[in-house]
Amino acid sequence: MNLSHKQAIELGDAVSNTPKSEIDVFVFPPACFVTELAAKNSINVGAQNAHPKVSGAYTGEVSVHQWAELNVKALLIGHSERRMYFGESNEFLKEKVDAALSVNVQPFFCCGEPLEVREAGTHIAFVKNQLEESVFHLPASEFEKIVIAYEPIWAIGTGLTASVEQAEEMHAAIRSWITEKYGNATAEKISILYGGSCNPGNAQALFACPNVDGGLIGGASLKYEDFAVLIDPKTWNI
């Protein structure tokens, strides 16, 4: 929930005009700016939230079916803030995943553990359960359409920092679960993004990890000079 209309459009235009042929870039603006940015054919625009029902008495909500009509290509599902502040359960997120896929909107499914789970040493099982209850019900043909984003919630806005080793550990675990469930071919097709305060200072080290395929960028996406570094192929050593 950041930026004014003017700032959002200027940022969207700057990202749209940045050469990025070797990098897939999606932007997820606040809902009030989505349609204007989605009208620009040179930028992939997603929504931060949607309701899984096609329609109904859900005042204040926008259905994923409505977003699909407006050229919205992707949907964030399970973001840590939706889970924490709005109480979205794994079952409800499963409904969102199914609804998005039904209208060819690509789910960007977020998973990750809070500090108390990390400190208890149960973070691996915690994240696996999130995936099992929300996305592992899908057949391989549908599962291959999603993107997974790992958010170590304890490392976002807390002053704590996840190490490159901690990021790779979880990404490798996620990849291994996908392999167990769907096979190696499917596991290799899935992009697993890192969403723990990725910025120009740590991006190269994170992107060099074997199982980190990209970033779910928060604060660093609000300033074009920072975001431009992250979507530059040189940052990825391409």
Q: Which residue type, as a one-letter code, is found at position 62? A: V
pLDDT for 1-11, tens place per residue?
Answer: 999 999 999 99
pLDDT at 225: 96
Sheet with strand 26-27: strands edge to edge: 26-27, 44-47, 74-77, 106-111, 147-150, 192-194, 214-215
CATH of the domain at 80: 3.20.20.70
pLDDT for 146-204, tens place per residue?
Answer: 999 999 999 887 767 789 999 999 999 999 999 999 999 999 999 999 998 899 999 99
Q: How far is CA 195 from the centre of its chain?
A: 7
Question: Both tokens of residue 117?
Answer: 């789970």
Lowest pLDDT segment from 26-30, 36-40, 67-71, 144-148: 36-40
b/e map of 111-133 (b: 16 or more CB within 10 Å)?
A: bbbeeebbeeeebeeebbebbee
pLDDT at 161: 73
Backbone angles phi, psi at 195, to 5 degrees: -120, 35
Question: Both tokens of residue 83?
Answer: 């889970």
pLDDT for 29-57, tens place per residue?
Answer: 999 999 999 987 788 999 999 999 999 99
Is the pLDDT reported for residue 25 higher than 90? yes
**pTM (predicted TM-score):** 0.96
pLDDT at 40: 79
Strands 44-47 and 106-111: unpaired
Q: Which domain holds residue 179?
A: 5-15+23-236
Q: What is the mean pLDDT of residues 113-141?
A: 97
C-alpha R_g of the chain: 17
169 touches 152 (CB < 8 A): no
Instruction: Give the separation between CA 233 and CA 105, rounded to whole angstroms.
Output: 26
Residues identified as active-site: 79, 151
Count: domains in the chain: 1
pLDDT at 159: 66
Q: What is the mean pLDDT of residues 85-109?
A: 98
Q: Which residue type, as a one-letter code, is found at position 119? A: E
- pLDDT level of residue 15 (50, 70, 90 thresholds): very high
Q: What is the mean pLDDT of residues 223-231?
A: 95
> Angle 31-38/5-16 helices, nearest 10 degrees?
40
- Report the chain's mean pLDDT, rounded to a whole number: 95
- pLDDT level of residue 127 (50, 70, 90 thresholds): very high
